[in-house]
Amino acid sequence: EYWTQSFNRMSKEINKTNIFSGPLFIIGMYRSGTKLLRILLNQSPRIIIPVVESCFIPYLINKFGDSPQFENDNEFQNFYKSLTKTSFWVSMNSVGQTLDKKYLEQNLNDRTSWSEIFKVIFKFYIPQSKSEDVIWGDKTPQYLPRIKLLKDLYPQAKFIHIIRNPGDYCISVKKAWERSIYRSANNWRYEIENAKMSSQDFSDDYLEVFYENLVEDPETILRKICCFLGCEFTQKMLNLDEPTENLWDTKEITKIVQTNKNKYIEQLSPTTIKRIEEIVYPVAIPLGYYLKFADSFKPLSPLM
Q: Going by DSSP bridges, is the β-strand pair 135-139/158-163 parallel, antiparallel, or unpaired?
A: unpaired
Number of neighbours of residue 259 by Cβ within 10 angstroms = 10
CA 145 remoteness from chain centre: 12
pTM (predicted TM-score)? 0.88
169 three-class SS:
helix
Q: What is the pLDDT of residues 186-211, one digit of tens each?
A: 999 999 999 999 999 999 999 999 99
Euclidean distance between CA atoms 147 and 199, whole angstroms: 8
The amino acid present at 72, given as its one-letter code, is N
For residue 289, what are the CA distances in angstroms to 165, 166, 197, 213, 284? 7, 9, 19, 12, 5
Euclidean distance between CA atoms 129 and 175, whole angstroms: 38
pLDDT of residue 1: 53
pLDDT of residue 246: 57
pLDDT of residue 244: 63
Euclidean distance between CA atoms 254 and 275, whole angstroms: 34
pLDDT of residue 13: 46
Instruction: Please provide residue 158's backbone torsions phi and psi, each rounded to the nearest 5 degrees.
Output: -120, 150
For residue 267, what are the CA distances in angstroms to 105, 262, 272, 281? 54, 9, 10, 20
- Report the greatest alpha carbon distance in the chain: 72
pLDDT of residue 7: 40
Task: Answer whether 174's CB lies under 8 Å from 30's CB.
Answer: no
Task: Answer whether 284's CB lies under 8 Å from 188's CB.
Answer: no
Task: Answer whether 223's CB lies under 8 Å from 44's CB.
Answer: no
Task: Answer whether 37's CB lies under 8 Å from 160's CB.
Answer: yes
| Sequence-ordered strand ranges (E) for 28-157 | 47-48, 135-139
Helices and strands (DSSP H and E) totals, the chain = 14, 5
Euclidean distance between CA atoms 141 and 247, whole angstroms: 18
Number of neighbours of residue 219 by Cβ within 10 angstroms = 11
Euclidean distance between CA atoms 273 and 294, whole angstroms: 9
- 61 exposed, middle or buried (CB, 10 Å; 0-12, 13-18, 19+)? middle
Facing residues of 48 across strands?
A: 136
pLDDT of residue 126: 87
pLDDT of residue 2: 46
Contacts of 8 (CB under 8 A, 6+ apart): none
> Quick one: residue 24, left, alpha or beta (phi over 0 = left, psi -120 to 50 = alpha)?
beta
Residues in the chain predicted with pLDDT less than 50, given as ranges, are 2-4, 6-8, 10-15
